[in-house]
Amino acid sequence: MRWKNALINTIRETPKEAETVSHKYMLRAAMIKKLGAGIYDLLPLGLRSVSKVMNIIRQEMNSSGAQEVMLPVLSPAELWQETGRWAVYGREMMRITDRHDNQFALGPTHEEVITDLVRREINSYKQLPVNLYQIQVKFRDEIRPRFGVMRAREFIMKDAYSFDRDEKAAMESYKIMFDTYNRICKRIGFKYRPVEADSGAIGGNMSAEFMVLAETGEDTIIYCENEKCGYAANMEKAVFAKPEPQTAAEEPLTKVHTPNIKTVGELAAFLGKKPEETAKTILYIVDEKKMAGAVMRGDREINEVKLKNVLGANEIRLATPEEILEKTGAPVGFAGPINLREKGIRLAIDDTVAGLKNTVTGGNEQDYHYTGVNRGRDYQENLAADFAKAQKGDRCAKCGGILNEQKGIEVGHVFYLGTKYSKSMKATYLDETGKSQLMVMGCYGIGVTRVVAAAIEQNNDENGIIWPMAIAPYEVAVVPVNVKYAEGMEYAEKLYTDLKAAGVDVIIDDRDISPGVKFKDADLIGFPLRVVVGEKNFKDGKVEVKLRREKNFELADKDAVFGMVAETVRREKTVDTGALR
Ligand code: ATP
Ligand code: MG
């Protein structure tokens, strides 16, 4: 590309709306342009990186035996009604009505559409397994679109869906996708971690997110510091080793007057105890119907995703002060497990509470708590399970090591679905004996545009982006310092033409402007390699070759530059992913 002809209007100032580095640099480096909240134009440079990500994904998906399709963005409401998701998807789904009053979703994801296709196309075990994917635009009316293309309302996703004969085969498909995602992340050059993720009502460990490690990430990862162990999970899913049950002799249950005590800290201080010697009871409304009490050790927090799962609920929310007063007879802050079930409230206790002896709980009466509370003797729960948030410093449940926390950006998600969709949509096939069976599914997403933003979050400095070679909009920038210096320009032109002919993505900065501006732009956009042809050096037969990530340039012999550059590009793009091709 010749810069003179390119649509690259870089911006000097930091745009006001940019909160993260990637957002700022994507705007400044002329990769994206905002059209509306969470809606962006992809400019030529942006699209080049996005296309490279797409190509890597395509190659790896194809090499894993998946087949590419393209499904419509418009999907009829009837399909979503079959699975019930027309009602439950809520306001994140963009909906439109056509001239005949038919309703459609602008696809936020495509399980329904693909399952409909496959149930019509596939009838026999002989046609399975099949894995179909597409790279396409998705619509989600996010509550808070932000960070540019990182959390947009219209964005590009690669979504894949596998269909298998049975669970075992479906697990195999899942495993293949898990490996494929690792190869994709490696080729892009990410520092990343696959982590166990919440799989909601489906259960099991068969959901993993691919997290790009970055301080600015919206997700929190819990991981074991023992590298041999390798345990890592999304905060929503993370577990930790539970404390040993206590063995102290049971003290008598005592009702204590605790006026004006609101928090666990105040209560513990008032009674001369530690927060971990208390248990708090939080009241929730489950699926807008029933109330449940969740009892957690005083020093720990509830993980609401885990709680929702153990309660078998679709939705939970905190009960309001009015609901609490009405149902328990006490204002907020005094709920406790004793006699709670008698009030028709389901009682769930966390594993950290199960082994406590002589703990302190609310009294279900204004200004009263109990001390000397013992499970079994004083109350009996409906269920005891793990719904505590894991935290830094906890012990690893797998190996006993120390757990730590880090931030990540979720770029991909692999998910074992089982028969969730095939059942409600009757996607069946005939097995060898002619019996009708449900197909077993998996789904696998990668946020293509988010990948590009995540790569920038991981690779930048104060001057701009530092692209990994694999997804740089151009791999090499050839910069003749002064376009009026004929010999230098001639050399630069030839280098440009030769590199292009050799398959290198190269741009020549043929603008007649100050070298300072050229260098600033090159740094901001972040081309991995820059070749500067300046008059003084060139007269000595030398040309500057600089890697963007390095501080200093190399003064190379002008005749050696072509080979050097072509080889560097080739080397940096080649990653041994261990894939069988
Ligand atoms: P998040 O928790 O970030 O909202 P999600 O769980 O809703 O993500 P999936 O439904 O699993 O995401 O979608 C697959 C991939 O699509 C995600 O891993 C992410 O990379 C990408 N993605 C999801 N929502 C957005 C968005 N609003 N903008 C850009 N990319 C997105
Ligand atoms: Mg989401």
Residue nearest to atom 28 of ligand 1 (CA): 151
Residue 200's pLDDT band, with cuts at 50, 70 and 90, is: low
Query: 87-112: per-residue pLDDT in tens?
Result: 988 899 999 999 999 999 999 999 99
Q: Whose CA is nearest to atom 24 of ligand 1?
A: 151
| pLDDT one-digit tens code per residue, 329-373 | 999 999 999 999 999 999 999 999 999 999 999 999 999 999 999
Burial of 293 (0-12, 13-18, 19+ CB in 10 A): buried
**Ligand 1 pocket: which of 157, 178, 415 to mutate (most atoms <8 Å of CB)?**
157
What b/e string do you get for 230-267 counting C-beta neighbours within 10 Å, with b at 16 or more? ebbbbbbbbbbebeeeeeeeeeebeebebeebeebeeb
* Nearest protein Cα to ligand 1, atom 4: 151
Contact of 453 with 461, CB cutoff 8 Å: no
Please state which CATH class domain 254-385 belongs to: alpha beta
Strand-pairing partners, residue 283, are: 293
The CA 215 to ligand 1 mean position distance, Å, reads: 18
How confident is the model over 150-165, as a mean pLDDT? 98
**Strand ranges inside 197-235, DSSP E:** 207-213, 219-224, 232-234
Nearest C-alpha to atom 13 of ligand 1 is from which residue?
Answer: 445
pLDDT grade for 204, boundaries at 50, 70 and 90: low
The phi and psi torsions of 531 (rounded to 5 degrees) equal: -115, 115
Top mutation candidate among 234, 410, 443 for ligand 1, by most atoms within 8 Å of CB: 410
User: Tokens in use for 64?
Assistant: 């894993």
55: CB partners within 8 A, 6+ apart: none
Taking the C-alpha atoms of residue 359 and residue 276, their distance in angstroms, rounded to an integer, is 9
* 411 in contact with ligand 1, CB cutoff 6 A: yes
Peptide bond into 245 cis (omega under 30): no
Give distance in angstroms: CA of 142 to centre of ligand 2.
7
pLDDT over threshold 50, residue 76: yes
Which residue has tokens 């402007």? 513
Q: CA-CA distance, 421 to 48, in Å (whole number)? A: 36
Q: pLDDT tier at 201 (50, 70, 90 boundaries)? A: low
pLDDT value for 314: 87
For residue 474, give Cα distances in angstroms to 186, 316, 500, 527, 565: 20, 49, 11, 6, 13
Of the ligands numbered here, which is closest to the C-alpha atom of 192?
1
The ligand that comes nearest to the alpha carbon of residue 138 is 1
Centre of ligand 2 to C-alpha 287, Å, is 20
Share of the chain above pLDDT 90, in %: 94
Contact 478, 531 (CB under 8 A): yes
Among the residue ranges 66-75, 204-213, 245-254, 491-500, the one predicted with the least confidence is 204-213
CA–CA distance, 512 with 517 (Å, rounded to integer)? 10
Ligand lying closest to the C-alpha of residue 135 = 1
Q: How far apart are CA 165 and CA 299, in angstroms?
A: 47
Amino acid at 67: Q
State residue 86's pLDDT score.
95
* 276/273 Cα distance (integer angstroms): 8
Q: CATH: 3.40.50.150, 1.25.50.20, 2.60.40.10, 3.30.930.10. Which one for 48-231+404-457?
A: 3.30.930.10
Closest CA relative to residue 504, chosen from 418, 567, 447, 451: 567
* 140 alpha carbon – ligand 1 mean position (Å): 9
What SS3 state is found at 547?
strand
Please give the share of the chain, as a percent, with pLDDT higher than 70: 98
Report the separation in Å between the CA atom of 143 and the middle of ligand 2, taken as the mean of its atom positions. Answer: 10
3-state secondary structure of 392: coil
Q: E-strand spans in 8-54?
A: 32-36, 39-42
For residue 577, is pLDDT > 90?
no
Local structure of 482: helix, strand or coil: coil
Closest by alpha carbon to 110, among 130, 87, 140? Answer: 140
* pLDDT confidence bin for 580, thresholds 50/70/90: very low
Predicted pLDDT of residue 17: 87
Using alpha carbons only, give the angle 46, 28, 407 rounded to the nearest 5 degrees. 80
For range 304-333, the mean pLDDT: 94
pLDDT of 581 higher than 60: no
* Distance linking the first and last C-alpha atoms of the chain: 32
- Cα 229 to averaged position of ligand 2 atoms, centre (Å): 30
Closest alpha carbon to 46 in 22, 66, 65: 22
Cα 119 to ligand 2 centre (Å): 27
Q: Is the CB of 239 under 6 A from ligand 1?
A: no
What the block records as the tokens of 413 is: 């998600």
For 418-456, how does the pLDDT look when each residue is reduced to its tens digit (9 = 90+)?
999 999 999 999 999 999 999 999 999 999 999 999 999
Q: Which CATH superfamily is domain 474-573 in?
A: Anticodon-binding domain (3.40.50.800)
Full-prediction pTM beyond 0.75? yes
Q: How many CB atoms lie within 10 A of CB 271?
A: 16
Enumerate the CATH 3.90.960.10 domain ranges in the chain, comma separated. 254-385
Q: Which atom of ligand 1 is nearest to the CA of 218?
A: 3
| Residue 323 · residue 317 · CB < 8 Å | no
Give me ligand 2 centre to Cα 368, in Å. Answer: 42
pLDDT on residue 260: 85
**pLDDT value for 429:** 98
* 531 and 477 Cβ atoms separated by less than 8 Å: yes
The answer, yes or no, to whether any atom of ligand 1 lies below 6 A from the CB of 155, is yes
Q: What is the rounded distance in angstroms from the CA atom of residue 276 to the CA atom of residue 265?
A: 10
What are the start and end residues of each CATH 3.40.50.800 domain in the chain? 474-573
Average per-residue pLDDT for the chain: 95
Report whether residue 445 contacts ligand 1, using a CB cutoff of 6 Å. Answer: yes
- The response to whether residue 193 sits with its C-beta less than 6 Å from ligand 1 reads no
- Cα distance between residue 146 and residue 135, in whole Å: 22
Mean pLDDT of 482-492: 97
Q: What is the pLDDT of residues 109-140, one digit of tens each?
A: 999 999 999 999 999 999 999 999 999 999 99
Task: Give the Cα separation of 472 and 475 in Å (integer).
Answer: 6
Q: How far apart are CA 226 and CA 249, in angstroms?
A: 37
Q: What letters, b where the CB count within 10 A reaches 16 and e where it falls short, cover 79-101?
A: bbebbebbeebeeebbeeeeeee
> Which residue among 140, 216, 413, 417 has the greatest number of ligand 1 atoms within 8 angstroms of its CB, and so is best to mutate?
413
State the closest ligand 1 atom to the C-alpha of 445, by its place in the atom list counted from 1: 14
- Span from the CA of 212 to the centroid of ligand 1 (angstroms): 13
Q: Is 303 in contact with 235 (CB distance < 8 Å)?
A: yes
The CATH 3.30.930.10 portion of the chain extends over: 48-231+404-457
Beta strands in 290-433 (DSSP E): 290-297, 316-318, 346-350, 359-362, 368-373, 383-385, 403-418, 428-430
- Other CB atoms within 10 A of residue 1 CB: 20
Q: 301 alpha carbon to ligand 2 midpoint, in Å?
A: 23
The 10s digit of each residue's pLDDT in 261-281 is 889 999 999 999 999 999 999
Give distance in angstroms: CA of 466 to centre of ligand 2: 28
